[in-house]
Amino acid sequence: MSDLSADFHRYLCPTSAEPLGLIIERAEGCFLRTPEGRNILDFVSGIAVSNVGHGCPEILRAITAQVERHLHIMVYGEIVQEAQVALAKHLAEIAPGDCSMTFLSNSGAEAIEGALKLCRKATGRARIVAFEGAYHGDTLGALSIAGEPRYQKPFAPLLPDVDLLPFDMLDPLRAIDERVAGVVIEPIQGEAGIRIPSSEFLPALATRCGEVGALLVLDEVQTGIGRTGRWFACEHWDVVPDCVVVAKAVGGGLPLGAFIARPELMRTFAADPPFAHVTTFGGHPVSCAAGLAALRFIHERGLIANAETMGRYLGSAISDLAGVKEVRGLGLLLGVVLEEPSLTQAVLELALERDLLVGGFLYAEGVIRIAPPLVVSRDLCDRAIEILAESLKWARRR
């Protein structure tokens, strides 16, 4: 195993100076198992991917059945593939409003790129509005609508005709006018440390988009598929977008993304010119089979209700811990704000030493990410709370 760790550092492009470097031999339920026999309680879920837990038998059976039928056979949209059709039909049943036609992609960033192209092609306009503090992925288009300049600067110049507005402020929404093709927003900002808008903000944004004919695109890559105690976070505000973007948990642990919109919008990709937006591997049949199994599992096991219940329990208990300033979030997407931001890394390290994996955020120093699988039980929540309490105590004593 020591050779594996060395090869990891030698052959894989690094994304940080000090990666976790954990070697995981097996993952099951809410646990990650190392070769040394450690069972680490996973309260990150691969950044909100493993909503159904690791090693879900129903998903493994769906994957096996699809592998035995066929793998990739043709670019997306040309041949009828049952796994794609079944997943898209199910997404139409749960998606908000009239969002009922799906374009399947490989990832959330790729789905964001497709949504940006949809806004421009469907409206004939160029301008895009996004929000300060936003994260939408790391492709060039997605990065162009990000709300953190230090991640944009090394790759400038980015896409033109992009304006950033303050998040959760009503007056600046007047800047959205008839020149705007689309407005892209996370209903709950993720990498900014789980920022939840006021009750008025998203409805006011939807109204303004409707007034000027701009498309409202909700990035539910992290908040969707039950994570916040609803299928989609926008349901908490009764907001219906023109387009909703999903990824992460929608693939049941396999790479998959999608943007879902009204049919009259999506059909603009089929003409002038035809094949205006295509993908080779988007909607891979194995990923689609896993995604459909995940959606069914979430529904049949009542995981959305469990996310709401366990989220309230976790949030309330953690907010009472010494060293915690506040807990932000909905369902099982929580940001734990520390009284002393400088202790964040110490708390993360101490928790991992005690076999609890929690994380941080790209843009928010002093906030700890809590996002366990939606199958998490109260006993496991209690275990995590106890470890967090110990970690906070020892971090303050360092």
- Looking at the structure, do residues 94 and 175 belong to the same domain, yes or no? yes
Task: Indicate if the pLDDT at residue 2 is higher than 80.
Answer: no
Give how far Cα 80 sits from Cα of 77, 83, 101, 110, 145, Å: 7, 9, 15, 22, 34
| 257 pLDDT higher than 70 | yes
267-276: long-range contacts at Cβ-Cβ below 8 A with a sequence spacing of 24 or more? 267/101, 268/118, 268/121, 268/122, 269/103, 269/118, 269/121, 276/117, 276/121
* pLDDT category of residue 238 using cuts at 50, 70 and 90: very high
Convert the pLDDT of each residue in 285-314 to its tens digit: 999 999 999 999 999 999 999 999 999 999
pLDDT digits (tens, 9 = 90+) for 22-66: 999 999 999 999 999 999 999 999 999 999 999 999 999 999 999
State how far the Cα of 305 lies from the Cα of 159, in Å rounded to an integer: 40
Which of 300, 333, 368 is the last residue in one of the domains?
300
Residues 110, 83 share a domain? yes
- In DSSP terms, 329 is beta-bridged to 334
Mean pLDDT of all residues in 117-123? 98
pTM of the full predicted structure?
0.96
Q: What is the pLDDT of residues 206-225, one digit of tens each?
A: 999 999 999 999 999 999 99
Question: Do 67 and 210 have their domain in common?
Answer: yes
> How far apart, in Å, are the Cα atoms of 151 and each of 113, 140, 154, 198?
18, 11, 7, 27
Listing from the earlier edge strand, what are the strands of the sheet with 356-357?
26-28, 31-33, 39-42, 356-357
Q: Which domain holds residue 331?
A: 2-55+302-397
Residue 367 has pLDDT above 60, yes or no: yes
Token pair for residue 46?
Answer: 């691969």
Same domain, 289 and 322: no
For residue 46, what are the β-bridge partners?
Answer: none
- Specify the pLDDT at position 30: 98
Predicted local distance difference test score (pLDDT) of residue 272? 94
pLDDT in tens, 61-88: 999 999 999 999 999 999 999 999 999 9
Q: Verify that 329 and 195 share a domain, yes or no.
A: no
Q: Where do the H-state alpha helices sit in the chain?
A: 2-11, 45-48, 57-69, 82-94, 108-123, 140-144, 149-152, 201-212, 263-266, 285-300, 303-319, 344-353, 378-397
Shared domain for 34 and 146, answered yes or no, is: no
Q: End of a domain among 266, 300, 334?
A: 300
Number of domains in the chain: 2
Structure tokens at 394: 């020892």
Q: How far apart are CA 373 and CA 47, in angstroms?
A: 10
Q: Considering 269, 300, 331, which residue would you say is the last residue of a domain?
A: 300
pLDDT of residue 398: 77
Q: Is 184 in the same domain as 268?
A: yes
